[in-house]
Structure formats: structure tokens, C-alpha cells
Amino acid sequence: MSPERFHFILNLYNIFPPVGKYLSWRGRFVAKHIASCGDNLKLASRVNIYNPQHLSCGDNVYIGYNTYIGGGMVRLDDEVVIGPFCCIVAGNHTMKDGSYRFGPYDAGSIEIGRGTWLGAHVTITNNVKIGKGCLIAANSVVTHDVPDGAVVGGVPAKIIR
């Protein structure tokens, strides 16, 4: 399926409320079009997956309202919970002739470990690995790897405990 058709159909699913059985409906549709997917993927409405072929999800993953996932490879392990309005971008623009507009795109990867929870409005930048069982506080910008079990927050995110 072309990316345009994928986004068109996903947007049709957005007419349904971001609750109940509609979370599973969107999840079942997306599961068929991403690189790999475990059981029970749930998506709230208005989720934007820019490159579905670069997204892998484990079992029991939830992606919150109005979240953007794009760039290079993104791997969400089992039981990852992503709050609303998150931005997960596995790539960067580079400069060419003094401008970022036409510089080549640098695709990277992001890995989010099992049982991790991203609060609302979290941004994860290129080439970051977040460990298992982490809590990323709301409004944080994660620019470096996070060890297992850490609670991080801030801009840029730092270990709180």
C-alpha cells in the first residue's frame, strides 16, 4: 500500500472517538502495514506514522492521541505506553551550502524498552535508546540514552531517580 493511501485510510479511522473498541480498530489496521507488530496494538485518534514500514511494535503497545512517529527505524518493545502529543523522530536534517532546507536527511533509530511510559508531550530525538521500565516525565526532550528503570525529565531530559 502506498504511503498516501495508508495515511488516507488511517485518517478515516480518526472520525471515530479515541476510546474503546476504536483504539483496537486503528491498531489492527496499522499492524498490517508496519514492519512488525505483536498482539493488541492500540492507537488513539490522530496518530501520524510517517514511515510505517520503519516502525516495529511488540505486544500490548498503546500510542496516544496526536502522536507523531517518523524518520528512521523506531522500535517499541512490549507494553510501551506513549502519552498524547508525543514526537518520536529517528532522523535529522543536515546542512548543505549553509542551509538545512536541502541538506541530506540523516535517518537513525530509536528503541524504547519494555514497559516504558512516555508522558504527554515527550520528544525523543534521533539515535536514542530508552531502557526497560522507564518513566519519561511529561514535556521532556530525550536526547541521550536512558538506562533501565530510570525516571527522567526536563529539557534536555536528565535522570531524576
Domain residue spans of the chain? 3-159
Give residue for cell 502529543: 85
Q: What is the pLDDT of residue 87?
A: 98
What fold, for 3-159?
A: UDP N-Acetylglucosamine Acyltransferase; domain 1 (2.160.10)
Question: What integer best gives the mean pLDDT of the chain?
Answer: 92
The answer to whether residues 111 and 129 touch, using CB atoms and an 8 Å cutoff, is yes
Query: Is 7 labeled as catalytic in the residue annotation?
Result: no
- Residue 109 gets the label, from left (phi > 0), alpha (psi -120 to 50) or beta, of beta
Catalytic residue among 7, 54, 93, 144: 93
Model confidence over 55-83: pLDDT tens digits? 999 999 999 999 999 999 999 999 999 99
Q: What is the mean pLDDT of residues 117-125?
A: 98
